[in-house]
Amino acid sequence: MKIVSVQDISCFGQCSLTVALPVLSAYGIETAILPSGILSTHTGGFKSFTVHDLTDEMPKIIEKWIEAGIKFDAIYTGYIGDARQFDMVLEMKKTLLNPGGKLIVDPAMADHGKMYAALGPEIVDGMRKIAAAADLILPNLTEAAFLLGEEYKDSYTKPEIEEMLKKLAAMGAECAILTGVSYTPDKLGAVAYTKATGEFTEYFAEYQPKSYHGTGDIFSSVAIAGYMNGEPLPKVLKDSCEFIVKCIKKTMPDESHWYGVKFEEVLAEGR
C-alpha cells in the first residue's frame, strides 16, 4: 500500500505532513510526500510565520515520478496554500494512481467558522473542484459549510447534518466523513455518508473541553489509514475519534503545549 500526501510542511507545530507521515507509517502504509509549501509554523496562533511556496517545484517532482513509473494507491490532499495546485492534484489523479486508486481530500482550510489566516476565497473554489473529483472527503463543519456555500452555524441538528452530508456527497465523492459533529454537550464525533447504500454511520466520543490545531489532520490520517486498509466504516470512525481523545488527554495537562497535540505518545503506546 502506497499513499502520496499533498499538503504543507509546517516545520514546527504538529500538523499537516509532520503528522500525516508518522501516523500513516505507524499504520503500515508507505507514505510519499509532495510538499505544497514550507512554513516556519502553522498559521494558527504564532505571532508571525514564513511561507515558502512550492507550486513551481511540484510539476517537476510529478514528472520525475511519472518517468520512474511510480504509482500510488491513494492521493491524500490536505492544506493547500496556492490555488494553482488544485489542477495539479486533478492531473495527479490521472497520472499517478494505480487502477482503482483513490483521491482523498481533506479540505483543510478553515475551522470554528473562519478561514485559516493565510487563505483566501480562491482556496474554497479550488477545494470544491478537487472535492468533486474525490472518492472520499473529510471536511470539518466549517469546511463543509464553505464547500456548500452556506453560512456556518454554531450548532446543527441531526437532520441538518444528514442533509449536509448528502449535499457534500452529491458534489462527487462516494463517501463523505464530517467531523466535529455534536448533538449533545457531552459528546463530539464524526458522521459518514456512503452514497452507494444511502447509509449514515456515526461515532461519538467523550467531549473534551479544549480544541487544538492539527487534530483534523491527525483524524484524517488515522481514518485514511483504516479506510485504505479496508476497515469497516464504524471501526474507522471509532478509531479516529478515540485516537484524538487520547491525544487531547495527553496534551491538556501541559499548558505550554498549546499549538498541537502529543500524538507521538499515543502512537508510541501502540495506538
* Grid cell listed for 220: 484524517
Q: What angle, 0 to 180 degrees and rounded to 10, lies between the N-to-C axes of helices 121-133 and 85-95?
A: 10
Residue 39 CB, nearest approach to ligand PXL (Å): 5
Residue 120 CB, nearest approach to ligand PXL (Å): 14
Residue 130's H or E segment, with its range, is: helix 121-133
10 contributes a contact to ligand PXL by CB under 6 A: yes
16 vs 201 by CB, closer to ligand PXL: 16
Measured in degrees and rounded to the nearest 5, phi and psi for residue 74 equal: -155, 150
248 contributes a contact to ligand PXL by CB under 6 A: no
16 contributes a contact to ligand PXL by CB under 6 A: yes
Site string for ligand PXL, 29-68 (x = CB under 6 A): ----------x--xxx------------------------
Report the distance separating Cα 56 and Cα 195, nearest Å: 36
- Strand 51-53 to 136-137 pairing: unpaired
- Burial tier of 194 (Cβ tally within 10 Å: 0-12, 13-18, 19+): middle
Residues 94-113 that bind ligand PXL (CB under 6 A): 108
Residues 210-229 that bind ligand PXL (CB under 6 A): 213-214, 216-217
Report the distance separating Cα 28 and Cα 22, nearest Å: 10
Residue 54 CB, nearest approach to ligand PXL (Å): 13
19 and 221 in contact (C-beta within 8 Å)?
yes
Residue 266 CB, nearest approach to ligand PXL (Å): 17
Residues that bind ligand PXL (CB under 6 A): 8, 10, 15-16, 39, 42-44, 79, 108, 116, 213-214, 216-217
